[in-house]
Structure 1
Amino acid sequence: MLLSALGQSPNSVWRRYSVSEGALETALIRSGSGPRVPLDRSHPSPTRQGEKLMLASDRWQSPSFRDLVKMAAGGRVGEERPGADRRGPGLIVRPYRPGDFRRVRRIFVDGATELATPAFKRSARAPSNVRLLLASGGTVYTVTASLAWAGLACLAFLALVYLAGRELYAGYVRERLRTDMADIEGHYLKPPGAGFWVAEVEAEEEEEGRVVGTVGAKMSPGDPSSCELSRLSVDRRYRRHGLGARLTRKVLEFARAHGYRVCVLETTDVQEPAIKLYQKLGFCVRSSRPGPAHPILQLLTKVSFCKLELSL
């Protein structure tokens, strides 16, 4: 079993070590503590990696014991940071800092542009596009009497549908990079009732921590009682581990603390996993509308924008 051992140093900074149960027991015995060292197993880790063990702080003052645990763990993994939200080993949610700018924009761009593929798969199955696909292939076959040319016509139509979806999201990204994502501090940190947070992988040794998730919140235009959640995005390598839910809850906690009555957000109907996540957290779909894209792009992609709402 893999355990997360945490010990408190004299300056009250918690240090984390990944260590096997057998290796930790060996360290305890060698230090002369054995089973007398209190191990608190009442706080299970939210991950599947094992349990969290809180080593007695008085024992942690012993340099020899610290060295033994480090040896058993194979080195330091990270340390707690004051004010950080930790609910899983190696990941924290903290307020945005200016040094995060480039990485935050990269996560946003990657998360938005990769939606072109699921948008294509969805729109290619739309009845109206299936009819257009068959019509284009049938027309070319009637004119040329060639199955090869008819097949090429169908492929060309599918390529057009894919490019339409790609352009739809690329246009959205360009617009956001010119507005709020061009000045995150000005849009999310300086205005009252607004905030921006990032999820970060903790630093190893002297290496810089890496941002792997983002979310923002601000007052909804024209409605001071409503908080708008936006820019929720998670690096694809860190998805399906509850990080999106953690970031969303961070915004909900912020909204309640600032007296908002409602939290709203808008997302495309292509993002079905995200919509299910929001609904699981209590959001309800209130309305749906066509996107602001060019009519031809809208015709081919069939993408709609869904507004979700949660009463706080």
Structure 2
Amino acid sequence: MSSYSIRLYTESDRRRVHEIFISGCHEHIPTAFYLGLRQPHNWLLLVLGLVLPLVTTGSVVLSILGVIGVLFVLWLPGREFYLYHIRRGLAKDLKDIRKHYLQREYYSFWVVDLDGEVIGMVAAIPAITPQEKNIELKRMFVADHHRGKGIAKVLCRTVIDFARRTGCGAVVLSTTNVQVHARCLYEKVGFKRTAPTEYNAWLSLVGMAWVSYRYDIPSDT
């Protein structure tokens, strides 16, 4: 693999950053659907969708349509969650990355440059409370054909170093239980799970939940 570099975002990166962001969100939709299929309460829905039309009408066609209807309902939460995530990101912080991230204190946005091509990204925003001054890791994505090469770990370290330089005590983040590989990566880097898993009524249908992590920066560094 050719050497890559981590650098600050420039306006010429905008199109590629948007592509990686959209692609990265889309790929979680099928994973969320398969997670829903593994939930025991949804097995009952599938059985009911199959059996009820058959028992009440004797129609095999309606029975098949019933199962398809349940599968569609299980597909919707993950799909709508990630499509909303895309729309919100493109309409807000990713609409003007320079203004949102590079012209404000405790904010930053980096890209991974490989021979002039952007293949990854990560952002940092302040997570400041009356008790603590922390940095939140956001928008970390690596193009699918460049994964497994340690790039995401370097991006995590970039945010951790940024937090250290700005005098913050920790790096925090939130992700979903759908993103299993990302969660494993965070834990390997040294992030610890913090708040209890947070469920949303609509997303809980497919077993989706928010998971929070924290990396405490040693005080002697």
Structure 1 window deviating more from structure 2 (157-166 vs 117-126): it is: 157-166
Report whether the alignment pairs 1:212 with 2:119.
yes
Report whether the alignment pairs 1:183 with 2:90.
no
Per-residue deviation, 1:91: 1.7
SS at match of 1:92: strand
1:141 alignment counterpart: 54
1:45 alignment counterpart: none
1:25 alignment counterpart: none
Report whether the alignment pairs 1:242 with 2:155.
no
Deviations 1:111-168 (A, max 9, x none): 0121101000011111111111111211111112234432331122112211332111
1:267 alignment counterpart: 175
SS at match of 2:160: helix
SS at match of 1:276: helix
Deviations 1:55-91 (A, max 9, x none): xxxxxxxxxxxxxxxxxxxxxxxxxxxxxxxxx6332
2:78 alignment counterpart: 165
**Alpha-carbon distance change, 98 to 120 in structure 1, aligned in 2, over 3 angstroms:** same
Asked whether the equivalents of residues 128 and 135 of structure 2 are also in contact (C-alpha less than 8 Å), the reply is: no
The residue identity in structure 2 corresponding to 1:104 is: V
| Percent of aligned pairs with the same amino acid | 32
Report whether the alignment pairs 1:104 with 2:13.
no
The residue identity in structure 2 corresponding to 1:213 is: G
**Alpha-carbon distance change, 194 to 299 in structure 1, aligned in 2, over 3 angstroms:** closer
Q: TM-score of the superposition, structure 2-length normalised? A: 0.91
**How many Å separate the matches in 1 of 2:67 and 2:162?**
50
**How many Å separate the matches in 1 of 2:128 and 2:72?**
38
**How many Å separate the matches in 2 of 1:200 and 1:192?**
24
1:195 alignment counterpart: 108
Question: Larger % of helix: which?
Answer: 2
**How many Å separate the matches in 1 of 2:20 and 2:101?**
17
Larger radius of gyration: 1
Asked whether the equivalents of residues 177 and 210 of structure 2 are also in contact (C-alpha less than 8 Å), the reply is: yes
**How many Å separate the matches in 1 of 2:28 and 2:102?**
28
Please show how residues 48-87 of structure 1 align to structure 2 within 5 Å: none
SS at match of 1:129: helix
Report whether the alignment pairs 1:290 with 2:199.
yes
1:41 alignment counterpart: none
Per-residue deviation, 1:290: 2.5
CA RMSD of aligned residues (A): 1.6
Structure 1 residue ranges (4+ consecutive) displaced by more than 4 angstroms after TM superposition: none
The residue identity in structure 2 corresponding to 1:301 is: V
Q: TM-score of the superposition, structure 1-length normalised? A: 0.65
Report whether the alignment pairs 1:228 with 2:136.
yes
**Alpha-carbon distance change, 109 to 221 in structure 1, aligned in 2, over 3 angstroms:** farther
**How many Å separate the matches in 1 of 2:151 and 2:60?**
49
**How many Å separate the matches in 2 of 1:277 and 1:228?**
16
**How many Å separate the matches in 2 of 1:115 and 1:311?**
28
Per-residue deviation, 1:221: 4.8
**Alpha-carbon distance change, 254 to 183 in structure 1, aligned in 2, over 3 angstroms:** same
The correspondence for 1:113, drawn from 17, 26, 37, is 26
Q: Which runs of 5+ in 1 are unaligned?
A: 1-87, 203-208
Deviations 1:279-308 (A, max 9, x none): 1111111122124xxx4x424333111111
The correspondence for 2:206, drawn from 289, 298, 301, is 301
